[in-house]
Amino acid sequence: MFASIRPPEEVREHLVTALRPIRDDNGPLLRWTDPDQWHLTVAFYGERPDGSVDELAEHIAAAVATTPTPPELDLHLRGAGSFSGRTLWIGVGGDVAPLRHLMAACAHDPFAADDDPDPDDPSAVLSGGSGSRRSGSRGSRADDQTERRRAHLTVARLRAREQGGRRDDRRSHRRSAWAGDRRRGRFGDRAGRDLARPARHDGATLLHDVVHALSVYAGPTWSATEIELVSSRLGEGRSGGPLHETVATIPFVPGR
């Protein structure tokens, strides 16, 4: 389970439009996450026993109540980065300071995982939260785990060569929100018009170029007013991805 803040549909659609040129040029080398399940991870709680939803929801509510969180957090997606040279994420701007305090408070759960893996990444969960089985040193693992606690939205991961190399993955997205390339979204093509299209490369070079291309990205602002507690079942979602189910909603203002 994990706690998250979910951007509204118009924010996700804006990012889909911005990413479309990069995805069209480099889709076979990257495994893209489902836009319908995009979220900002507030805290990761790992596997929990049945009946723990109320306990976790109460913990999150207590964290919200004891943290100087405004009634609304004005947030927007901006810029990009990577974890472990394999995971592409979009950053967050706006009320970042109170968001960081809220993330820290929610993570202080006696039953929470020690690390903060990506809840959508099977390798991160199985390896105990590092998100990479190839960490070169204990220091690099610590640095990477610290980076992962930065507010972010995961959009893609590099495909391992042994898992199919450059095979085309567009068919797997045909029925997802990525199918919006066949229709005009409310933002048209404006969101992606100014993004440079990185050349096709392999591995870390490609990811570096994609991060550079997305450094100018800035999405629309939205007001976050609640945290969702989400159950994630790996491999049960669309195209073999995780299946997310919101099991509790905790507003910043009780009774709102």
61-109: pLDDT as tens digits: 999 999 988 899 999 999 999 988 889 999 999 999 999 999 999 987 5
Decide which of 42 and 49 is more confident.
Answer: 42
Query: According to the model, what pLDDT value does residue 41 have?
Result: 94
Q: Which residues contact 256 (CB under 8 A, 6 or more apart)?
A: 71, 225, 226
Q: 0.75 exceeded by the pTM?
A: no
The predicted model gives 119-147 an average pLDDT of: 42
User: CA geometry: angle at 226 spanning 125 and 111, to 5°?
Assistant: 35
Domains, the chain, ordered by start: 2-251 (3.90.1140.10)
Query: According to the model, what pLDDT value does residue 131 have?
Result: 35
pLDDT band at residue 49 under the 50/70/90 scheme: confident
Q: What residue has token string 């809220």?
A: 102
The predicted model gives 218-232 an average pLDDT of: 96
Strands in 222-224's sheet, in edge-to-edge order, are 30-32, 152-158, 87-94, 73-83, 222-224
Q: Which residues contact 131 (CB under 8 A, 6 or more apart)?
A: 83, 84, 86, 87, 117, 118, 121, 123, 124, 144, 148
User: Mind listing the pLDDT tens digit for each residue in 2-14?
Assistant: 999 999 999 999 9
What tokens were used for 160?
Answer: 């391992």
Query: According to the model, what pLDDT value does residue 63 have?
Result: 94
